[in-house]
Amino acid sequence: MNCLLKKFNTKFETVPFSQIKNDYFIPAVKDAIEKAKAKIETIKNNPETPTFQNVCEVLDVVDHRLNIISNLFFNLHSADTNEERQKLAKEISPMITEYGNDVSLDQALFKKVKTIFDQRFTFNLTPQQLTLLEKQYKNFVRNGALLPSEKKDEMRAIDKRLSDLSLNFSEHVLEERKQFELWIEDEKDLSGLPDSVREMASAQAKEKGRPNAWYFNLDFPSYMPFMTYADNRQLREKLFFAQGSLGAKANSYDNRPIVLETVKLRLQRAKLLGFPSHSHYVLAERMAESPENVEKFLKELYDKARPFAEKEIDELKQYAKKHHGLSELCRWDLAYYTEKLKKERFNVDDEMLRPYFKLENVIEGAFQVAQKLYGLHFILDSEIETYNPEVRVYRVLDSKQRVLGIFYADFFPRAGKRSGAWMTEFRSQSKSTGEELCPHVAIVCNFTKSTPDQPSLLGLSEVLTLFHEFGHALHGLLSDVYYESLAGTNVYWDFVELPSQIMENWIYEKECLDLFARHYQSGERIPEDLISRIKSSMNFHEGRMTVRQLGMSLLDMAWHNQQVSLYTDVDMFEAKILGPLELMPLARGTNISSAFSHIFSGGYSAGYYSYKWAEVLDADAFMYFKEKGIFNAEVAHKFKNDILSRGGSEHPMILYKNFRGKGPTIDALLKRAGLS
C-alpha cells in the first residue's frame, strides 16, 4: 500500500520514511493533483453566492496533501538524493508546474475570487482574511489570469521551461561539485593546516579506502579551512578555481546557457504580465517595492562600505608583502592572509574557538536561547523516523508542555546532499484544514564532521550558520495563524531573513555564550577575555565582506533588469557589472552566476538584496533587545507575538512597527558594522 496516498498513521503524523519507496511519489502526486482539482470543481460549481468562506477558505486547503507530498520529495531531493530521485524530479516538477498553471489560469475560478476581491470591503473581513484574499487574487493576476488565451499558452510554456532549467541548474552544480577531489599524499602539503583539519581529511580518506592520504573537496567544512590555513599557495589556487568555475566550464555541466535562457524567459514572462522587467515583477510584492528603491539602498550602503574595504585590501597587501614577500595579492590569498592578520591583531581564530563549540553543546545552546526567550523545550525523540541516520529529530514543547511542533536537524555533508544551509518544512502550521496542525520543520547544514579522535567542533561561522537557520526554524515553529498559505515563513522575501539574522546577534553576547560555550575536554567555560576578543573582531574586514555581498546583490539586479536581452555572454556580462565594483581584478576562468543557486534555482531572483535589507531590520530590532536586555521577557514576548507567530498574516512593515513602535533606520546597521 502506498503510504503517500493517505494521512500518515504515525506519531504526530510525521513522515514514515522507512515505508516510502521512490516509485510511490508519481502516483501520489497524480492522486493529490486529481483530488485538488476535484475540490476546485466544487468551488466553481457551487450555486451559492460566492463568499470568502465558500471560495477563499476552501481554496486555501485544496493543495494541502499535494504540498505535503511535494515538500517531502523535494526535501529529499535536496538533502538525500540519488540518481533515481533526480530522474523522478524531472517528471514531478513539470507535473506540479502544470497543475499550478491549470489553477492560476482557470477563468471560472478566478472569476469567483475576483468577485469577492472587488467587494472585499463589504465583507467585514479580519486583517488575516483580507491578506489571504489579496494574496489569492494577486497570485491569479501575477500568473496570467487576465491574459488572453493565446498568451496563457505562452505563459504555460515559459513556466514549464523555467521549472526544467532550475532543476538542471541545481543538479549541474551538485554533480560537478561531487566530481572534484583533492588527494594529498605528501604531508608537507598540509603545512599550516590545524590538527583538526588534518584529522578530518585523514578520516575521509580512510572512508574512501586510502589510509595513507588526506582527502579534500568543495564542501564548506573541507574547502574553507584549506583556503584559510594551507600554506601551499598552489593548492589554494587549485581549490579556488575548482570552486569558482563550477558550472562555468565547457562540459555537460555548463550552466551558462541555462543562465542566459533563464533570464530571457523571466523577462519575457514579466513583459507578458505588463511589467518592464522581472525585477519589477518580483519587487511589486516585496517591502522594497521597486528596483529603483533596491538599487538606491544597495548603492547607499556600497558608498559607505567602499572606503573601508579599500583600506582593508591595502592593509592585506602590505601584510602579505611584509611577512611573505608577496608581490601580488590574489583572490586565493584573501582568506589566508585575513586570518593571519586577524590572529595577529586580536589573538583569536577559529582553531582557538572550536574546542568551545562542540556541536552538541551549540545545539543545546540554541535550545536554551529559545527556552529563555520563548519558553520552548526541545526533547530528542528516537521514535520519530528520519530520512538518514545522521538526522536528529525533536519534539518541541511550549511553556505549558504542549507539543508545538517537530524539529529535524541534519548537520553533515554527504554524497547526494547539496551544499550550503537552509531551513525547510515537511508540514506547515495551520488550522484551516479543520484541525490544528503543528509544523514539522527542518534545518539542513554542512558542518565539520567528527573524527575518531574528536567530536564535531564548529568554527565561529558554522555556529552563526546554525543560529541563523535555527531562527528560520523558530519562525516556522512559533507560527500561529489560521491559513496554511500565510503560516511561518510564507512572508515577503525581504522580511523572511529577519527572524534568522537576528539570532546571530546572540552569539557575540557573553550572557548567551556562557550558556553553552565550554571546552569539550575540560568543561571549562569560554574565558571572558576570549569573548571580548571575539566581539572586538566581529567587524574585522566588514567593509570588504559588505562590498562583496552588495556586488552579488547588484549582479542579481542587473541580470533581472529590462536590458538583459542585450547580453549574450555570461562572462562578459559579469565583467561589465562587477568590474567597476570589485576591489581586486576578476579571476579569469571563474564565474559567480554559473553557480549562483540562490537566484537561478533557489527562489531569490531579484531578491538577493534581501539579506542586506533584513540586516537593517535585525540590527534595529536587536538594538531594542540590547536596550532592555538580550533575554528581556517583555521584548521577547513582543517579538514572538508581533513577528514570529504572525507569519504573513499582515504586511511586514505593519508587523515590524507593531513590534518596534516605529520603522527601521539604516543607522543601527552602520553602527554595528563599524561603517559609520
Residues with a known catalytic role: 469
Close Cβ partners of 416 (under 8 Å, ≥ 6 residues apart):
80, 81, 82
What φ, ψ does residue 13 adopt, rounded to 5°? 60, 35
Q: Are 198 and 214 in contact (CB under 8 A)?
A: yes
**Partners of residue 457 on adjacent β-strands:** 358
Q: H-type helices in 46-82, by residue range? A: 58-61, 64-79
Across 154-223, the runs of DSSP E, i.e. the strands, are 182-184, 214-216
Q: What whole-number distance in Å separates Cα of residue 613 and Cα of residue 610?
A: 5
Query: Cell 499550478 identifies what position?
Result: 100
Q: How big is the chain, counted in residues?
A: 676
State the DSSP H helix or E strand holding residue 396, giving kind and residue range, or none if neither: strand 392-397
Per-residue burial over 513-525, b if 16 or more Cβ lie within 10 Å, else e, is bebbbbebeeeee
142's torsion region: left (phi>0), alpha (psi -120 to 50) or beta?
Answer: alpha
State the DSSP H helix or E strand holding residue 441, giving kind and residue range, or none if neither: strand 440-444
Widest pairwise Cα distance in the chain: 83
DSSP string, 276-287: SSHHHHHHTTSS
**DSSP 3-state of 49:** coil
Going from the C-alpha of 321 to that of each of 22, 245, 310, 344, the distances in angstroms are: 57, 28, 17, 15
Which is nearest to 448 in space by CA: 340, 575, 355, 321? 355
Q: Are 558 and 565 in contact (CB under 8 A)?
A: no
Q: What is the 3-state secondary structure (H, E, C) of 488-507?
A: CCCCCCCCCCHHHHHHHHHH
Going from the C-alpha of 49 to that of each of 44, 55, 107, 109, 120, the distances in angstroms are: 11, 10, 17, 13, 14
End-to-end CA separation in angstroms for the chain: 63
**DSSP 3-state of 297:** helix
Close Cβ partners of 154 (under 8 Å, ≥ 6 residues apart):
272
Query: Cell 533584513 identifies what position?
Result: 614
Close Cβ partners of 64 (under 8 Å, ≥ 6 residues apart):
430, 433, 484
